[in-house]
Structure 1
């Protein structure tokens, strides 16, 4: 039989081995968990890498979409045309100028003249900030009687975004060409790069000009204003013309008749003078000569075989 003292070391050794085996199993499971986690992370990262590769190979269109600036609001071009009838055109013109300047705008152009009826007429183009567009329109309509109004709003947000993106890309292209020029050593390479740089610089300037034009048209609204003088109102009553109106109408008709008569006389006077001269020429020169020729004509000769004495007897009988 074994003694109790000899069994204790065996049990202690067995316990030590069991603890070591459990520790090794725990370490192995931890490594498996880490490998599983890293594998799943690699699988999850693979689609992202594939998408990144696909995005990088999509070309300039994908790059431009990634760099497109976002606008805080829509870019809208606002234009309007107003025709207002006023009593005093110069006064209304000064009020329109003051309205535009107080709103932060200015007068783009101005043209003053008179219409067929002799009324003064002024046409001017106002440029006002887009935020003051409605306020300025209301103020201009209040200067007189509104005759006609047309307004238009054009959304050019897509054009603004496209031009901004192209400007950014073109600037980057110009910078790359300049870097290549700094690194170039051969004359041919330098000449070729200079031609490319000039082309891209010209394209960039054209895009910048278009960008500035869009910014100007979207920032400032355009208002075309026409001011015309109101015709003088008649003081006659609405129930019909009176004696004074009839007298004025008759006098006007009489003056008109005299004008027509004077025109007729003036038109026929040259022909009347010519006819009078012809009649006087006939009476004074042609007709007396014809009469004198008739009086100087010889008497007719007697018939053949007739005796002069017999003719006298016959006449006496």
Structure 2
């Protein structure tokens, strides 16, 4: 029985070895078909990879669409500013119409300065209007009279706005982390140190948020500075004129203003001078005169034994006279 089992094991081992040799020979004989199998494997993997690539392409397409949406004009942050000069028949009426135009557009009047002098009247208005209504309001203001000058500028602050948003988000995360550390502090020194750091981070966050609000205000409301002048005002502004006569005129005006101020001050202090200055001056004059009179009177009798005054020689001694002990 033992011999039978050994023979069975021997025949099994021989069969395994024979099968392995046949497989090796088959592999060597079909070497040219390995490329086909590789192609088949690649083709089998391609359908599996196709959905992933399709999904990646879809994501990229979505990202590209988002970037394209962000670069559109209506999605960008743009600050509009305008400056114009219009000559009108009645400055006050035109100023009211300009303020009404800004109000109708959803804005308001940010500044109003006027110099009224009949035909030489001038009004400087600063209007804040929504950005979508900027050009419409500019055209409406130009129709108030004869437009002499117009300047429009734009500033794209999209990148600055995006950068501020990122910095604000990062700073808020830093503030939250500092608050968590403050809640976990277990000593006075750590508590004070973390509180100082938290205060500094909150101050930086407040500064960034203020800048963001300022940018949002400038982009939401555009600024239009309009100068309304009467029919008697020339095109050239007085501040733009140069030359000898202009300088002489300005210097004369300054001189007159200085003299007016000087006379005003003199008129204010003149009553005080009359009330207090005249008596004090009289007393000072009398005291000085009395001092001069005292210095002019010579001494009539010189004391015995006193030395002679300067420039006067002593008298010769009298014979037989005794000197005082």
- Tell me how far apart the structure 2 counterparts of residues 226 and 80 of structure 1 sit (CA, whole Å): 11
Paired residue for 1:89, among 88, 91, 94? Answer: 91
- Tell me how far apart the structure 2 counterparts of residues 167 and 138 of structure 1 sit (CA, whole Å): 38
Question: What is the SS of the residue equivalent to 1:87?
Answer: coil
Unpaired segments ≥5 residues, structure 2: 1-40, 50-69, 234-325
**Structure with bigger gyration radius:** 1
- Tell me how far apart the structure 2 counterparts of residues 166 and 228 of structure 1 sit (CA, whole Å): 46
Partner of 2:188: 187
Structure 1 segments, 4+ long, off by >6 Å, are none
- Tell me how far apart the structure 2 counterparts of residues 173 and 231 of structure 1 sit (CA, whole Å): 62
1:111 aligns to 2:119 (yes or no): no
Matches within 5 A, 1:218-257: 218-231=219-232
- Tell me how far apart the structure 1 counterparts of residues 222 and 163 of structure 2 sit (CA, whole Å): 22
Question: What is the SS of the residue equivalent to 2:75?
Answer: coil
- Tell me how far apart the structure 2 counterparts of residues 91 and 118 of structure 1 sit (CA, whole Å): 13
- Tell me how far apart the structure 2 counterparts of residues 109 and 98 of structure 1 sit (CA, whole Å): 14
- Tell me how far apart the structure 1 counterparts of residues 225 and 157 of structure 2 sit (CA, whole Å): 21
Partner of 2:140: 139
Partner of 2:77: 75
- Tell me how far apart the structure 1 counterparts of residues 112 and 213 of structure 2 sit (CA, whole Å): 24
Partner of 1:64: none
Unpaired segments ≥5 residues, structure 1: 1-35, 45-69, 233-317
Give the TM-score normalised by the residue count of structure 2. 0.49
Partner of 1:98: 100
Q: How many pairs are equivalent?
A: 171
Deviation, 1:231, is 2.9
- Tell me how far apart the structure 1 counterparts of residues 109 and 119 of structure 2 sit (CA, whole Å): 25
- Tell me how far apart the structure 2 counterparts of residues 141 and 223 of structure 1 sit (CA, whole Å): 12
Partner of 2:214: 213
- Tell me how far apart the structure 1 counterparts of residues 119 and 230 of structure 2 sit (CA, whole Å): 9
Q: For residues 75-132 of structure 1, what are the alpha-carbon distances to aligned partners after superposition, in whole Å with 9 as ceiling and x for unaligned?
A: 11100001000001111111101100000000001000047x9611000100000000
- Tell me how far apart the structure 1 counterparts of residues 232 and 209 of structure 2 sit (CA, whole Å): 49
Contact 2:88 2:231 in 1 (8 A): yes
Q: For residues 205-260 of structure 1, what are the alpha-carbon distances to aligned partners after superposition, in whole Å with 9 as ceiling and x for unaligned?
A: 1001100000000111000010011139xxxxxxxxxxxxxxxxxxxxxxxxxxxx
Q: For residues 265-315 of structure 1, what are the alpha-carbon distances to aligned partners after superposition, in whole Å with 9 as ceiling and x for unaligned?
A: xxxxxxxxxxxxxxxxxxxxxxxxxxxxxxxxxxxxxxxxxxxxxxxxxxx
Partner of 2:174: 173
Contact 2:119 2:231 in 1 (8 A): no
Partner of 1:6: none
Q: For residues 134-192 of structure 1, what are the alpha-carbon distances to aligned partners after superposition, in whole Å with 9 as ceiling and x for unaligned?
A: 10001000000001111100101111001111011101110110011111111111111
Give the TM-score normalised by the residue count of structure 1. 0.50
Partner of 1:123: 124
Partner of 2:300: none
The Cα RMSD (Å) is: 2.9
Matches within 5 A, 1:8-27: none
- Tell me how far apart the structure 2 counterparts of residues 137 and 106 of structure 1 sit (CA, whole Å): 14
- Tell me how far apart the structure 2 counterparts of residues 82 and 156 of structure 1 sit (CA, whole Å): 24
